Structure 1
């Protein structure tokens, strides 16, 4: 993403004065006021997309949608679901709204189907709103994000700004692919109040820290924010015990212009309902009842340049009932479960479905049980009948341990798959530095 120039920074400071209080207030709106806000924003975005984006006009007309009958979120179910391939096929000309020039937009690239990539475009205003909605997450996770706080983030690239102003809300960057010695040295030097990074990189760093490093970090560290990869609550609890601070998950999407949901310090997995609509649907698009797992479909309310409406994320999740409230008093719906990517799940020969969360627990508990024999891992469904547990061996790896791990994983996979424990020098990563710990090569 392009950096914010002086003009953008000045506009960001201006917008913050209005938008930050509004974003803070929206978390605690009463049911009726929040519903009215959501309905207005959803309807406005749908009508904008129909009038100005060729892809949506074609989709809606083809499905026989009466656009004037879309008057609230309750009518969302009448709109076709947009798939990744729709964005790939229609970008840029039929996906960008009239009145926007591609050369003036910021673009981001994310993974698509069959190895293809999805490109998403944002206006300058959307980018400013994206920054300020992110700061709201930091405020929630830290129970107050103040100007003197420092965030250190381990990521593929730098954020488009180094702080909200020249001196406040300082951001320190570590490259994801930096050697661990260098990453730890930078981490110590930056003395963060908030650490943001991929879960797999947090585990890498944790295993590389000395007791002195941990003690130094604990002097100022308030919270750790993990994002962009799957992690389980058991993993986050383990890391929380190790670092002595909450480790909270953030679920975001480039297609949806940022964060969709995030955990508060009470553990509630809040959906940002004032900027996103989240629905859970069956494979054929039927909206599912609360508590039932299905495909997560979402709508972004503030990307006017490239509207994203009822977009299937290919993630599996379920919703808590709207009546269930969090101890933090935020009046926002919560995810009940988040099981991760469909392409990071396994289907066994019997038809039994294993979510990425379950599979992550298999690998992570092997890592914990064999700390000196394993220093990294990935679980791969190589064929419909064979799984491979790739691991970087530690000093105590031997054939007996290898056989035990294979046997244990076989039991977790209900005896339906042949299991091979394969010793490797390094594990696969994407070009963004993410580590895919659960890989399904049969998809």
Structure 2
């Protein structure tokens, strides 16, 4: 990967974000047509899929035509991995990225050359747009696979120290103080723990920028993190398979979607786009990864697009919020699906330090709590009332108490989990 390529892509990305929406859509459609032709000509999987659907590249003229193409599932990628890779590439010469498997289905993607350089630029854009400088030091709370030292870091560019989100906080605080990062980037639950520890012992470091990712950021977590560090939190959304997808700017009016680099669709049951303000399953077509094309990739999340304009003057359209993993929606006996965000009201209940809602059966939910000294029997009853308003009286609620609630093996902390794999929108 050559640094000039990254800088060139980054220059263009920082410029294109201010295009008018109409111009962004023209750019997006141009990139889409090029990617579709490349995938048809070079990806064994998509060549076969197009022929099975009776399609040729010229049938996909813009993003509205994408619905003609069947959705690419995570199982598709798992079962046919090397058939996705461009025939001109040897996967052994590519950079390999594997998702954490928080959906239960880990997925690997390959990138190479300009695709890898573009991916790096796309990753960097929201940091730089929100105040990060190329020579700043960043503390990254991240999985081990992201901890590789890139060659440009040896020249002081985009330096980082990586800490696993499963690492005990007490052993990490001295490293924070010694490294003195200009920015922190990591899981929101770990940032909250760090904020609480900072309030307890008041470590001397004070980062200038805070970026959260990988988990739903509740209002309470945002407020506590911002209060502890006296800095605004910038929430970022993306995936290992696609890189950055959407991000907050300094206006915090929603998440700017990277439509100059992806097509993001929000669809409902009949595979039709939802209206603005409605939740839909997110399908992603990265427009830069010619190494391993993904078209209408089922990322596994639910989001809500909006037709609002941001005061920052960027043309990148907005997503109002991410509502969580489809697999972690709660499926009620009457067929309704409840998003994980609905349970964030528990954050406002006094006496709760940490909670986790686990659906064991359609009519049984287990609530796991870590409490503090202010917790009372009245609060126990209050929790039941809050949950009954969300899930109704047909669902039994069992509350258990723990000293701590462990993270997933990926390092993520799941506030809501469903054991029902059928709890899906599509």
Q: Same fold (TM over 0.5)?
A: yes
- Provide the residue aligned with 1:187 in structure 2: 176
Give the secondary-structure state (helix, strand or coil) at the position aligned to 2:120. helix
Q: After the TM superposition, which residues 171-320 of structure 1 pair with which residues of structure 2 at under 5 Å, given as runs?
A: 171-210=160-199, 213=202, 216-218=204-206, 221-233=207-219, 235-256=221-242, 258-267=243-252, 268-320=254-306
- Provide the residue aligned with 1:5 in structure 2: none
* CA 1:389–1:402: 2 relative to 1, 3 Å: same
- Cα distance in structure 1, aligned partners of 2:121 and 2:334: 47
* CA 1:412–1:68: 2 relative to 1, 3 Å: closer
* CA 1:222–1:327: 2 relative to 1, 3 Å: farther
- Displacement of 1:355 after TM fit? 0.9
- Cα distance in structure 2, aligned partners of 1:66 and 1:20: 32
Give the secondary-structure state (helix, strand or coil) at the position aligned to 2:84. coil
- Displacement of 1:180 after TM fit? 1.0
Is the Cα–Cα contact under 8 Å of residues 81 and 285 in structure 1 kept in the other structure? no
Give the secondary-structure state (helix, strand or coil) at the position aligned to 2:89. coil
- Displacement of 1:399 after TM fit? 5.6
1:153-210 CA-to-partner distances (Å, cap 9, x unmatched) read: 1112243336655223321222222211122222222222221110111122222223
- Displacement of 1:234 after TM fit? 5.0
1:59 and 2:49 equivalent?
Answer: yes
- Provide the residue aligned with 1:125 in structure 2: 114
Higher RCO (C-alpha 8 Å, min separation 6): 2
* CA 1:18–1:212: 2 relative to 1, 3 Å: same
- Provide the residue aligned with 1:23 in structure 2: 13
1:34 and 2:24 equivalent?
Answer: yes
- Displacement of 1:255 after TM fit? 1.7
- Cα distance in structure 2, aligned partners of 1:159 and 1:298: 25
Give the secondary-structure state (helix, strand or coil) at the position aligned to 1:196. strand
- Cα distance in structure 2, aligned partners of 1:275 and 1:358: 31
- Displacement of 1:112 after TM fit? 5.6
- Provide the residue aligned with 1:153 in structure 2: 140
Segments of structure 1 that go 5 or more residues without pairing to the other structure are 1-7
- Displacement of 1:402 after TM fit? 4.0
- Cα distance in structure 2, aligned partners of 1:421 and 1:210: 29
- Provide the residue aligned with 2:66 in structure 1: 76
Give the secondary-structure state (helix, strand or coil) at the position aligned to 1:117. coil
- Cα distance in structure 2, aligned partners of 1:417 and 1:242: 38
Give the secondary-structure state (helix, strand or coil) at the position aligned to 1:316. strand
- Displacement of 1:68 after TM fit? 1.8
- Provide the residue aligned with 2:415 in structure 1: 437
Is the Cα–Cα contact under 8 Å of residues 381 and 388 in structure 1 kept in the other structure? yes
Give the secondary-structure state (helix, strand or coil) at the position aligned to 2:190. helix
Residues matched between the structures, number: 418
1:362 and 2:345 equivalent?
Answer: yes
- Cα distance in structure 2, aligned partners of 1:250 and 1:132: 15
- Displacement of 1:71 after TM fit? 2.2
- Displacement of 1:239 after TM fit? 2.6
- Cα distance in structure 2, aligned partners of 1:212 and 1:202: 15
- Cα distance in structure 1, aligned partners of 2:269 and 2:143: 33
Match of 2:90 among 101, 107, 123: 101
- Displacement of 1:262 after TM fit? 0.6
- Cα distance in structure 1, aligned partners of 2:77 and 2:102: 11
Is the Cα–Cα contact under 8 Å of residues 368 and 402 in structure 2 kept in the other structure? yes
- Provide the residue aligned with 1:169 in structure 2: 158
Give the secondary-structure state (helix, strand or coil) at the position aligned to 1:202. helix
Root-mean-square deviation (Å): 2.3
1:384-441 CA-to-partner distances (Å, cap 9, x unmatched) read: 1111111234455566654543444334433332211212344243222111221001
Is the Cα–Cα contact under 8 Å of residues 19 and 132 in structure 1 kept in the other structure? yes
